[in-house]
């Protein structure tokens, strides 16, 4: 289950783009089915089946026009699990600094959601 959600940024590209941080309770939990709703100028994102703890933000007039025009948004989610790794006692040097360095995998997800008005 989702422990908490937070909208971090709202931008406009071709459509409305919302960045969100989602904190999960268990690393093996895959129960995340986001939904979006718009009431007035406030957009809310919540997990299906858990409508009592939504995250919401107010949209400006330009963002409202894009949301009403498309009736959809692009949701970009960054997942995390609280307390999964504990505390690091031996930190290694940053291995991403060399010319052949590779970026470490991050738990990110992107989808297009319809907006319920």
Render pLDDT for 50-81 as a digit per residue (tens, 0 to 9): 877 789 999 999 999 999 999 999 999 998 87
SS3 (DSSP) at 97 = coil
Mean pLDDT computed over 91-105: 63
Q: Does some domain include residue 57? A: yes
Cα 42 off chain centre by: 17
Q: What percent of the chain has pLDDT over 70?
A: 79
More confident residue, 106 or 7: 7
pLDDT of 11 reads 95
**CA dihedral defined by 42, 6, 32, 64, rounded to 10 degrees?**
30
Q: Which domain holds residue 74?
A: 2-84+98-116
Q: Decide if 91 is inside a domain.
A: no
pLDDT of residue 2: 84
In a domain? residue 76: yes
What is the tally of structural domains in the chain? 1
Please indicate, yes or no, if residue 52 is contained in any of the structural domains: yes
Within-domain flag for 70: yes
Task: Give me the sheet containing 108-116, strands edge to edge.
Answer: 2-12, 16-24, 72-81, 108-116, 34-39, 42-47, 50-58
Q: Is residue 53 part of a domain?
A: yes
Residue 42 domain flag: yes
pLDDT at 37 over 70: yes
Q: SS3 of 34, please?
A: strand
- Give domain status of residue 92, yes or no: no
């Amino acid at each position: 289950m989702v422990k908490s959600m937070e909208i971090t940024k709202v931008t406009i590209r071709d459509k409305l783009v919302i960045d969100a941080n989602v904190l999960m309770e268990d690393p093996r939990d895959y129960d995340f089915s986001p939904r979006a709703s718009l009431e007035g100028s406030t957009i809310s994102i919540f997990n299906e089946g858990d409508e009592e703890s939504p995250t919401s933000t107010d949209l400006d007039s330009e963002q409202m026009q894009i949301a009403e025009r498309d009736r959809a948004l692009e949701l970009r989610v960054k997942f995390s699990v609280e307390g999964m790794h504990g505390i690091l006692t031996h930190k290694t040097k940053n291995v991403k600094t060399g010319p052949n360095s590779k970026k470490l995998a991050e738990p990110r997800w992107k989808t297009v959601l319809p907006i319920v008005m």
